[in-house]
Amino acid sequence: MTAAAGKAPRDVNRGVAPVTYGQGERPPRGDYGRAGADYTCAQDHARYTEADHDTYRRLYARQLQQLPGLACDEFIAAVRQLGAPERIPRFDDISERLFRATGWQIACVPGLIPEESFFALLAARKFPVTDWIRKPEEFDYVVEPDVFHDLFGHVPLLFDPTFADYMQAYGAGGLKASRLDACELLARLYWYTVEFGLIATPKGLRAYGAGILSSTGELRYSITSAEPRRVAFDLQRLMRSRYRIDTYQATYFVIDSFKQLFDATAPDFTPVYESVRKTIAAAGEIEAGVVLPGERQFTP
């Protein structure tokens, strides 16, 4: 685990990798002594207390009732695959179902892990899920992703074959980006799609990003509020865009389909990074909440 010094976790993001994976400024929460060289460990299910299970149950129930009309159909269809909502599930049980569906598995981790290890797991179709759960006093907000965010937010869409392929392509791209010094640009792609992505459907806008789907207030805000900007997904535009980690998002990127996402990620990004860097050098980055002239926007 590496730590990026001087980065306040609730401060405006200045282009460092998001805390959704990779680094945080504080020593990472979690017992890393249990982890192997690839940062994975066994889920110590017996260690959860009744209070832990109760926190999970209440978080799950609160999010579940918010999903209709706000979350995408693929997410709603798959969320029950997480198993009984009353207790923190055993990752192995979910992995069995997930492997049968899309060839993915859950890899238990003690908390945030370094980017390289994160990318390597995704490229091997393993999604790292933190095993600790937030304290009751953190019910509404937890700085680092916990088991509820990782499991409820991320795992259901891994049951969708196209999204599952996108995640693997992202991991493979990440391993390459590390060598090209392009992790910052790739982190923006993760942030604006996997964590905070919206999708346009015949029934209206819906959320598919885990940061939204596991959030108390942002799920409704992202779909119904007149405040944020919602712009059509464009890879190079997205990679020029800063984001904020201290508030709800000021900009969301809207995809038409998961296939669009996969197709955008499938080609080699090397020329994309070069082009984005040139544009940033000439025209600058784009602040969150800013819409460019002529840009198509989605309204609630």
Please give the residue ranges that form the binding site for Fe ion (CB under 5 A).
20, 145, 210
Whose tokens are 């604006």? That residue is 192
Give 300's DSSP letter.
Answer: -
Annotation marks residue 195 as catalytic = yes
d(CA 23, CA 1): 7
CB of 38 to Fe ion, least distance (A): 19
Name the residue nearer to Fe ion (CB basis): 130 or 251: 130
Closest separation in Å from C-beta 145 to Fe ion: 5
Least distance (Å) between residue 196 CB and Fe ion:
10
- H/E stretch holding 130: strand 126-130
CB of 143 to Fe ion, least distance (A): 12
Provide φ and ψ at 130, rounded to 5°: -65, 140
Of 214, 98, 68, the C-alpha closest to 159 is 98
Residue 139 Rama label (left phi>0; alpha psi -120 to 50; beta): alpha
The dihedral over CA atoms of 67, 71, 72, 73, expressed in degrees to the nearest 10, equals 0
Q: Could you tell me the two tokens for 3?
A: 């730590």
Has 50 been annotated as catalytic?
A: no
Active-site residue, from 115, 117, 144, 149: 149
Q: Among 117, 154, 215, 218, which one carries the catalytic annotation?
A: 154
- Whether 225 is a known active-site residue: answer no
Cβ proximity to Fe ion, 111 vs 145, nearer residue:
145
In the bound state with Fe ion, the residue whose beta carbon lies nearer, of 145 and 276, is 145
CA distances from 84 to 88, 95, 171, 247, 252 (A): 8, 15, 30, 32, 32
Nearer to Fe ion, 142 or 276 (CB): 142
> Closer to Fe ion at the Cβ: 165 or 195?
195
Token match 């979690």: residue?
30
| Known catalytic residue at 214 | yes
Q: Which residues contact 187 (CB under 8 A, 6 or more apart)?
A: 16, 17, 18, 22
Catalytic: which of 195, 218, 222, 241? 195
Which residues are designated catalytic?
Answer: 149, 154, 195, 214
